[in-house]
Amino acid sequence: MHIVERWFGAGFNQFHPLLQLLHRQGGRLYGQVDLQLGNGLAGLVGARLVARLGIPTTQPRVDFQVEIHSDAVALHWNRCFADTVQLRSAFQPKGSWPHGYWLETTGALTLALAVDVREGGWYWQPLRAWLHGIPIPLWLLPRTQAYKRIENGLYHFYVGFSLPLLGKLFSYSGALQAEAPATGPYS
């Protein structure tokens, strides 16, 4: 049993079969993503955030791929924007669903994320945050909305950041195809 299936227990069966397969076998998803900056001051703040992450914003739509796999201690998401910029995250499970959470580490930021399962999809719910290991209140960070779900056989996802009063800072989203499963490090 893989780490995601073990963490969710019987709740794993609530996911769409393609999400179950992806998290049992791992795999590579590819396609294009829409990149959107907010307007006005929110757009300026969003542009700084995107620059720190290294995500290109010269075009509103870029090629994107994500390799997903798990090992004995973490779920790994290795994203690539426009065939150049790598954004890697490791998710370590704590407790078990529905009361547990995942610790996502991306660079200096660590987030504790619960998971809400809706209509076969996976919706992240931020709980706590640390920057360089120091706890910081969530209200100091941009609000994050993130999900993945299956629609018409494609992996639809959305990741967006916003601030109260300012609105949307930045988002990226798309509908991705799965590469045929292979044997090897992801199985």
Q: Per-domain residue ranges for the chain?
A: 3-178
What CATH number labels 3-178? Answer: 2.40.128.20
Q: Please tell me the predicted confidence (pLDDT) of residue 122.
A: 97
Q: Please tell me the predicted confidence (pLDDT) of residue 181.
A: 56
Q: Where are the beta strands (DSSP E) in 26-180?
A: 27-37, 61-70, 75-81, 85-94, 101-106, 109-118, 121-131, 134-136, 143-151, 154-163, 167-178
For residue 78, is pLDDT > 60? yes
Distance CA 56, CA 58 (A): 6
For residue 43, is pLDDT > 70? yes
Q: In terms of Cα–Cα distance, which of 46, 40, 94, 86 is closest to 65?
A: 86
CB 126 within 8 A of CB 138: yes
The confidence band for 27, taking pLDDT boundaries of 50, 70 and 90, is: very high
Residue whose structure tokens are 């969003």: 46
